[in-house]
Homo-oligomer: A and B are copies of this chain.
């Protein structure tokens, strides 16, 4: 590189690849390393999985706009969802908390209380952490889950021709955020379901566990960045591509209501809105019905919808009445200037 050229800059994927290359083989007893929803520890640690997420006020949440309860709930939900994406049973959580100056007890109570309550619903205990002073509120959760006798479900297990399925409805979280940002009434009938999906998402821990225990799922991950980018990751990890049908997409009921009220696009929220925290998995097309029954039974009637198939890659194609389009880039890069 010439000395007067600006230095090259890395995007998020490049940073992750560089860190993975520095970390090397990951050492003994590490079955699955950097790049899946969670790391799987093997050997003497007997099938534990570990996931971690860093969230910063102003970048990943906004305390000027959201109550601390919602921030705490969503942080725990996002991490539980990563464990659900492996089919793990949540066990222990570690919270690092950065606070600007001496906090009010009500604030800590609301933020941490919501995390503890949601964790406890799913069998997780807060077991330790770190509390420091920081320029803004910073949360890091590190969760450990147990696989027990089930094998962890990875992104890389998909096979050509697999059915691509999702749990629940998509686009609700992004629609709820759009509704709140537009200053609309969060209790308005119809839209209220989207607001709830945004503020109090339900991680699909029981569904993920049932799918892992079934032994019939080939690849799985949770939907945190939107179907378009998450399915691209799963397909790529499996050495394949994917084709999905717009008409099959299970839109969250609240997304339709919000789209009508704001002249928004419910399908766009479903494909790339993100933070739905549903599960994305692949299986033999003949097994979809059975797996849907298992999920409904395990997770309070939660639905399963086949949205497409794994095909020769690369990329994710969306079929609709208007033809076929490549939606592989429908996700986002956390380092992009406009990413929030």
Which of chain B's residues has its CB closest to A13's CB? B131
- Is A307 at the interface (CB under 8 A from chain B)? no
Q: Which residues of B contact A41 (CB under 8 A)?
A: 91-92, 127, 144
- Is A121 at the interface (CB under 8 A from chain B)? no
Are the C-beta atoms of A103 and B10 separated by less than 8 Å?
yes
- Is A321 at the interface (CB under 8 A from chain B)? no
- Residues 110 to 138 of chain A near chain B (Cβ within 8 Å): 112-113, 116, 120, 123-136, 138
Known A-B contacts A10-B105, A59-B132, A133-B339; the reply to A23 vs B125 at CB < 8 A is yes
Residues of A in contact (CB 8 Å), total 82
Are the C-beta atoms of A23 and B126 separated by less than 8 Å?
yes
Q: Give me the interface of A with B, judged by CB distance under 8 Å.
A: 7-12, 14-16, 18-19, 22-30, 33-34, 38-39, 41, 44-46, 48, 50-56, 58-60, 91-92, 94-99, 101-106, 108-109, 112-113, 116, 120, 123-136, 138, 140, 142, 144, 146, 334-335, 337, 339
List, sorted by A's number, 12 A–B pairs whose CB atoms are closer than 8 Å: A7-B105, A7-B106, A15-B99, A22-B116, A27-B127, A41-B91, A45-B146, A50-B92, A52-B96, A96-B142, A142-B142, A144-B144
The 7 A-B residue pairs with the shortest CB-CB distance, nearest first, are A27-B125, A54-B96, A39-B128, A9-B102, A23-B126, A142-B142, A140-B140
Additional A-B contacts beyond A30-B125, A50-B94, A54-B130 (18; CB < 8 A): A7-B104, A8-B105, A12-B131, A15-B99, A18-B109, A23-B127, A24-B116, A28-B125, A29-B91, A33-B127, A34-B126, A34-B129, A50-B127, A59-B98, A59-B132, A59-B133, A132-B334, A135-B136
